[in-house]
Amino acid sequence: MGSFENIKTRGDLAGLLNIPSSKLSYILYIKKIENLYSSFKLPKKSGGHRVINSPEEDLKDIQKSLAKFLSRQQKIIWDARGINQNISHAFIEGKNIISNAENHMNKRFILNVDLEDFFDSFHFGRVRGFFAQNRDFRFPIDIATIIAQISCYNRTLPQGAPSSPIITNLICNILDIRLLKISKKYRVNYTRYADDLTFSTNDRSFSDKYMKFLVEISLEIKHAGFMINNKKTRLQLKDSRQEVTGLIVNKKVNVKKEYYKKTRAMADNLYRHKTFDIDGKPGTINKLEGRFSFINQLDRRNNEINRKRVELTQKSNSRHCLNTREKGYQYFLFYKYFFACPKPTIITEGKTDIRYLKAALKNLYLEFPKLIERKADGTFEFKVSFLRKTKRLKYFMELQLDGADTLKNIYNFYNEKGRQPNLSKYFEMKSKTKPDNPVIMVFDNEISNKNKPLYTFTNYASTQPESKQMLMKNLSINITNNLFLLTHQLVGQRTECEIEDLFNKKALDTKLDGKSFSKNPDTKQEYGKEYFSSYVLKNYQNIEFDNFRPMLQALNSIIESYSKG
């Protein structure tokens, strides 16, 4: 665990990192590290900017391998010594700013200390010395030098390199242990998130000991080769707003009110104008979703009742009420997936239907260039998207992970049925435009059967008899606004069909691992839809999809007519 003397050559190190030795040599001595970075600036919230040095792909791959090895080795060390690490919360799996802040909730005193020029403090000699001398590594000096060459740029660890975070944590481990020892002496909690050090306590007498404590930790920090940014050193009292790594921790971990208000304002600008800014720069819808998701993550962690409600809805179809913040997230999700979807969106009853449709489109791509395109490298680009049902959509929009009820619940957001707001109407009024693309719900053609989803849905949506007749004739109808219903043709003499019935006898008779296909397998000699759909998608080139043409033509017509309307 603690000795790597048998790693003596570049080839040995390359083997340890699971990369070709020739690649390592080429990067170090032909291309050279100093030529393999691009730099850019990011603004700091406190003013000024930080320089990010991003490595080129070849070097980045090596750094990723190094980071993976070091992280694995760190875990081996912790497991061997029975260490349950709860000091460092940056760049560690399962740790983040939330886990860091949770250690300092509801404390009488919180002391924040910031390390100045953190990454620049890890210079080439320091990195090389660590890997040559640390008891858990002790690489030969030549190998430690190569590791420092791989991980450093302009003689320091660069922000932007995949290997920098784990190396900072390894080198800071001794500092963490010494600061923890001092903290325990003063009955203080200690955590670190990169260059943010936080100390907290409920000891009433800490105010009398504060200066002495600050002197002790300052000397230890200086001894470890770091400098304190005195401008950011602050003692926060219980009666004031206490922050840890940007989160409020007075009674529970939460975002600042300003953060939520800004997020809500960004969303409003998006809904009205289709654009918004984040920190003075154009924002993206994915970044905005990240903000909503982060707020919701904290809300769900803090609210025990809410957590129980989430667990309940994950186990059943029980209805639940959303609080104000959750409703804001719900509105955003509808806008992203159903109002401003960048491509026509297809929603199926189950995931096997998606595989069949993708396979059919790949096989018939020449006939449907508006639905799919084959690129020069032989891969395919779908010009439609398939809604992926997630636990997040299940919770906020009651969209079940499988089954036709999901399609009913989507319809509810278009007409205020089932207690849901009419979000389609809301966003049309807000944006003064129609939705960007159609949303197409796909059902099996079972309208003649009162117990099947298509029949029950059309009744639920109060579909008129003439519309039902049009559906059987054209295989599609417009339900409301940008919401459409699509089904497939009836084949043979059947009065109802599932999508599997569109395949010919040869495909349906395919033996897989000695088993035969059945829609409802109940013997060891049969396989079901899941296995069959995976086979179809993988072998789309060798399967006949003639019976899929009418449905795909109807899909194409929906998209064409919507774009013209």
DSSP β-ladder status, 234-237 and 109-116: antiparallel
Residues whose CB falls within 8 Å of the CB of residue 132, separated by 6 or more in sequence, listed in order: 138, 139, 140, 141, 144
| Bridge partners of residue 41, in order along the sequence | 51
The pLDDT of residue 113: 97
pLDDT digits (tens, 9 = 90+) for 267-310: 999 999 999 999 888 999 999 999 999 999 998 887 754 555 55
Q: HSE (CB half, 13 Å, CA atoms) of 557?
A: 13
pLDDT at 401 over 60: yes
The fourth-level CATH superfamily of domain 4-248 is Reverse transcriptase/Diguanylate cyclase domain (3.30.70.270)
Lookup: tokens for 347: 């929603």
Q: Write down the domain spans for the chain.
A: 4-248, 257-318, 336-564
pLDDT digits (tens, 9 = 90+) for 239-271: 999 999 999 999 899 999 999 999 999 999 999
The pLDDT of residue 403: 66
Q: Which of 377, 355, 383, 344 is nearest to 545 (CA)?
A: 355
With vertex at residue 121, the alpha carbon angle to CA 115 and CA 125, rounded to the nearest 5 degrees, is 155
- Read off the pLDDT of each residue in 79-100 and give the average, rounded to a whole number: 86
The pLDDT of residue 314: 52
Residue environment code for 292-311, b if the CB has 16+ CB neighbours within 10 A, otherwise e: bebbbebbeeeeeebeebbe
pLDDT at 430 over 90: yes
The full DSSP string for 69-109 is: HHHHHHHHHHHHHT----SB-SSSTT--HHHHHHTTTT-SE
Separation of alpha carbons 469 and 447, rounded Å: 10
SS3 of 416-455: the string is CHHHCCCHHHHHHHHHCCCCCCCEEEECCECCCCCCCHHH
Residues whose CB falls within 8 Å of the CB of residue 337, separated by 6 or more in sequence, listed in order: 345, 387, 393
With vertex at residue 199, the alpha carbon angle to CA 194 and CA 204, rounded to the nearest 5 degrees, is 170
Distances (CA, A) of 463 to 293, 447, 485: 37, 12, 11
Separation of alpha carbons 518 and 522, rounded Å: 8
**Cβ atoms within 10 Å of 436's Cβ, excluding its own:** 17
Lowest mean pLDDT among 16-25, 298-307, 446-455: 298-307
In whole angstroms, what separates CA 190 from the centre of its chain?
29
Q: Residue 198 in 3-state DSSP?
A: strand
In whole angstroms, what separates CA 162 from the centre of its chain?
18
- Read off the pLDDT of each residue in 460-487 and give the average, rounded to a whole number: 94
Q: Which of 188, 206, 186 is nearest to 197 (CA)?
A: 188
Separation of alpha carbons 56 and 35, rounded Å: 9
Residues whose CB falls within 8 Å of the CB of residue 285, separated by 6 or more in sequence, listed in order: 270, 336, 340
pTM of the predicted protein model: 0.83
pLDDT digits (tens, 9 = 90+) for 209-238: 999 999 999 999 999 999 999 999 999 999
In whole angstroms, what separates CA 200 from the centre of its chain?
32
